[in-house]
Amino acid sequence: MSEAGARNIPEVSSVPEPSGARDFDFLIGEWLVHNRRLKERLKGSNSWIEFEATLDVRKVLDGCGNIDHYKTIRDGRYFEGMSIRIFNPSMKQWSIYWVDSWNCVLETPVAGGFKNGVGEFLAEDTFEGKKILMRFLWSDIMPNSARWEQAFSEDCGRTWETNWIMEFVRRATPAP
């Protein structure tokens, strides 16, 4: 039974649900990224590290996915990462996977979608041996800018510590 049916609210079949497969089309292209990352996570830190990065995002799988390539110098070392985003049309949700050059491990995916212009993606994970919830938020999405945040929760989502913020600005396309 659908959620609407469970609350005795009639379903409206004449209004199609958005597919969601184009939710990340705003991100396709090349970006400059300003990063703010907490120096220490889940330790009450207010000390942030700031650094610049680049991001290149391309569609894959006939448009139902995309891959990005992230590059920066962090803590004095070259750092390269890759996100893989896949849309599941039957579940109407995205799964986002991450792997980077320091760990070389495909991380636990976050899953979710967009509502009212904000994307929220969650996963159960561990951090320094503790069970946590991890959340990605996409917001302030405009044609040439966007914002991404990562947060951890140690109390099943009652409170969140934002530990990484990225501000995206689209790279200018050179004139032909």
The domain that holds 72 is classified in CATH as 2.40.128.20
- The answer to whether residues 68 and 56 touch, using CB atoms and an 8 Å cutoff, is yes
Compute the Cα dihedral for 110, 112, 118, 124 and give only its sign.
negative
Whether the predicted pLDDT of 26 surpasses 90: yes
pLDDT tens-place string over residues 54-101: 999 999 999 899 999 999 998 899 999 999 999 999 999 999 999 999
pLDDT at residue 173, as a whole number: 65
In-domain check, residue 36: yes
pTM: predicted TM-score of the whole model, two decimal places: 0.85
Whether the predicted pLDDT of 161 surpasses 50: yes
CA distances in angstroms from 126 to 36, 134, 153, 156, listed in the order given: 22, 9, 10, 12
- The answer to whether residues 25 and 154 touch, using CB atoms and an 8 Å cutoff, is no
How many domains is the chain built from? Answer: 1
Compute the Cα dihedral for 73, 167, 128, 118 and give only its sign.
negative
Whether the predicted pLDDT of 16 surpasses 50: no
In-domain check, residue 139: yes
Retrieve residue 76's tokens.
Answer: 């004095």
In-domain check, residue 3: no
More confident residue, 28 or 75: 28
pLDDT at residue 63, as a whole number: 87
Longest dimension (CA), the chain: 58
In-domain check, residue 137: yes
Give the residue-averaged pLDDT of 94-117.
95
In-domain check, residue 104: yes
pLDDT at residue 86, as a whole number: 97
pLDDT at residue 9, as a whole number: 36
User: What is the residue range of 135's domain?
Assistant: 20-168
Whether the predicted pLDDT of 163 surpasses 50: yes
In-domain check, residue 10: no
CA distances in angstroms from 77 to 55, 71, 73, 102, 163, listed in the order given: 17, 11, 5, 10, 20
Rounded Cα–Cα distance for residues 136 and 122 (Å): 7
pLDDT at residue 38, as a whole number: 97
Instruction: Give 26-88 as a DSSP string.
Output: GG-EEEEEEEEEESSSSS----EEEEEEEEEEEEEGGGTEEEEEEEEEETTEEEEEEEEEEEE
In-domain check, residue 128: yes
In-domain check, residue 11: no
Listed residue (149, 83, 37, 131) closest to 123, CA to CA: 131
More confident residue, 45 or 17: 45
pLDDT at residue 172, as a whole number: 75
pLDDT at residue 75, as a whole number: 86
| Mean pLDDT, the chain, integer | 89
- The answer to whether residues 128 and 119 touch, using CB atoms and an 8 Å cutoff, is no
Whether the predicted pLDDT of 162 surpasses 70: yes
